[in-house]
Structure 1
Amino acid sequence: MKIQKAVSAVSGVKVLLLAFGLAGLPNASSAGAISAGNPAPQTMPAPANLGGVSLARLRPWQPADAYRISVVADAYGPLGTYPAAGFSNEEAAPGIDPIQVDPIQTGAIIPGVFGSVALSMHNFPVAARWAPVYNAIVDCTPGSACDHENAAFGEIINIAGKKGFRDKLAFVNSSVNRLIAYRKDSALYGKLDYWAKPSEILEHRAGDCEDFAILKMAALLRAGIPAQSMSLVVLQDRRRKFFHAVLSVSTGSGTFILDSLGNNVAMDSDLPDYVPLYSFSTDRAWIHGSKSGAQIADVAGGFATVAPGEGSSPDATVTPASSGVGAK
């Protein structure tokens, strides 16, 4: 059953919260990486709506109409309000201009990637997987286990660090897609969904879609992209009907998507089939929702059952968001 409830945003605009059903979800989906010799899928439109936190817009955000946020249950904790992150353009790596990484404008409800809105969540169960992974990303420094496991990874970072912003993203995306092979967590770790640390991914030289995103985040962080500008986004591909994960990088010129399904870096606005579910940026977790009238994903069983890269997701459907208030 879906439960909607009105929540007042800072601007006074009411936001509908949709609770996901608690029925079990079978295997979530599979998204394999494209090898260096294979072209990116021609049938996939360039991304328009991905689920990272697109925190750009240096003016206060005011919603134009009602929005609906998808949440699992209010038991996951209160809405959080965070202070703005202290990132400035002076801290940006050389070559990022004229596309400068924006400071994060955080609050209970903020603009999200793929045209979504993002709701900060405390006590989000899925976040337990992310916390140790993010700490390992930060610790993936020169001379660490990351470099010891795979010398090619360090070389990718050295080359990327000398490139301009767009070239840096493109190089890291294509290089990591070639560096590791796509394999399901069930084959590598004997678990339906396992969020590996960068050193584990490099040790196995393989991983599923979120592992590709994790390794790209670690590489870009060392190559000069601020952590606050990057998000690991878990989403549903509504055309292929599977769960997937990508890395998003937010800038003043839009949000760039690094995807294991192709070597080209696309804008989130070019990927209309991607429906964001939740994302992680630094140590924060976000649930994503859509404007009224847009499509949202319904996930039976809640987010804990979503396993990006593991089979199809027949019980995860995309439905139009209604503009009315009330229970369905």
Structure 2
Amino acid sequence: MGIFGHSQTWRVIVLAWGMVWFGPAAQLTAGTLISPGALDLIRKSAEPFGLFASKLSGGALREKWLGVERKLDDERVQLALCDGDRARCVSPAALQFLAIVDNARTREGRARLGEINRAINLAIRPMSDMAQYGQSDVWSSPLVTFATGAGDCEDYAIAKFAALRMAGVSADDLRIVVLRDTIRGEDHAVAMARLDDRWLTLDNRRMAMVEDADVRNYRPLFVIDDRGVMRYEDMPPPASVSRQESAPAMAVNFAAPTGLTPPSN
């Protein structure tokens, strides 16, 4: 018993040291100590509002965004040509858009984002799709919006998204987010830009840029970037934390939406 007891004791000690020093190499991953579900709750998403999102492989919203992306590609060529020879540019909309980008390029950080938010808010008149096109939920490319001088929330958001990219903001730091206005009972789109690991909203309803953590009375539904469209997922809080304590300022305990109502201006 003495020899066996000592042997067992040493095996326990060696195993304990092995877990400390060689845990990763011996496949002693965090998953063996923390369940995958708990890891999901501990880890924070890099998307706006800190929520996880899953990519959509189909649906009307994805097709709508793909159509916008094709138009953006065409307009980038037109803007590049006008930028190279502005004296011969025949598009007043392109020249107006480039002037906003020029002013933004002279600024840095938050001032650059604020310049584009302010300038595009002032350049476009709020007008519903029904009043402008006779149909709902029309997503226009920036030069179309600037040519008409009017648009609704997603038109502002798309124009800001494109202008920020041209002004030098990384694609990784740009999003368009579709939110549910819980007060008005309608959907609303905003551009969002990440600065110093914080997401700021560029909203046509206000000149001031609000950090995502300070947004009130909105429920995030979809997030869009160069990689496509993603739908936000509902992440429950840990059992030890109440829903009221853990929920961000906006409501996040939403059911997956079946469709979008026309966004407001």
Is TM-score (shorter-chain normalized) higher than 0.5?
Answer: yes
Is 1:127 matched up with 2:62? Answer: yes
Find the counterpart in structure 1 of residue 139 from structure 2: 195
Partner of 1:160: 104
Higher normalized contact order (CA 8 Å, seq sep 6+, divided by chain length): 1
1:143 aligns with 2:81: yes
Indicate the structure with greater helix content. 2
* 1:52-201 correspondence runs (5 A): 62-64=39-41, 110-138=45-73, 139-140=75-76, 141-143=79-81, 148-150=91-93, 151-201=95-145
The separation in 2 between residues aligned to 1:271 and 1:192, in whole angstroms, is: 26
Give the deviation of 1:191 after TM superposition. Answer: 1.1
- Alignment match of 1:228 (pick from 155, 167, 172): 172
- CA offset digits 1:62-119 (Å, max 9, x no partner): 4226x9xxxxxxxxxxxxxxxxxxxxxxxxxxxxxxxxxxxxxxxxx95432232211
Secondary structure of the structure 1 residue equivalent to 2:213: helix
Residue identity opposite 1:287 in structure 2: R
Q: 3-state DSSP class of the match of 2:183?
A: coil
Paired position in structure 1 for 2:8: none
Q: Distance in 2 between matches of 1:147 and 1:226?
A: 29
Does the CA-based 8 Å contact 1:113-1:255 persist in structure 2? Answer: yes
1:218 aligns with 2:195: no
DSSP-derived class of the 1:255 partner: strand
Give the Cα–Cα distance (whole angstroms) in 1 for the partners of residues 49 and 170 of structure 2: 21
CA contact (8 A) 1:147 1:153 kept: no
Task: Write out per-residue CA displacement over residues 174-221 of structure 1, whole angstroms, 9 at most, x where no aligned residue.
Answer: 100000100001111111111111121111110000000011111111
- Cα separation, partners in 2 of 1:144 and 1:307, compared to 1, 3 Å: farther
- Pick the structure with greater CA Rg: 2
Q: 8 Å contact 2:54–2:232 — kept in the other structure?
A: yes
Give the superposition deviation at 1:229: 1.7
Native 8 Å contact 1:114 1:272 kept in 2: no
Give 1:252 shift: 4.0
TM-score by length of 2: 0.71
Greater fraction of residues in strand: 1
Query: How many residues of Structure 1 are paired with residues of Structure 2 in the alignment?
Result: 209
Partner of 1:307: 262
Percentage identity across aligned positions? Answer: 26
Change (3 A) 1:119 1:291: same
Deviations 1:151-191 (A, max 9, x none): 32211111101110110100000100000100001111111
Query: Any conservation in 1 of the 2:110–2:195 contact (CA below 8 Å)?
Result: no
What's 1:245 paired with? Answer: 189
Aligned-partner Cα distance in 2 for 1:232–1:253: 17
CA–CA distance in structure 2, aligned partners of residues 299 and 64 of structure 1: 19
Q: Return the alpha-carbon distance in structure 1 between the equivalents of residues 164 and 136 of structure 2.
A: 28
How far the C-alpha of 1:299 sits from its partner, in A, is 7.1
Gaps in structure 2 of 5+ consecutive residues? 1-34, 84-88, 237-242
Cα distance in structure 2, aligned partners of 1:144 and 1:236: 37
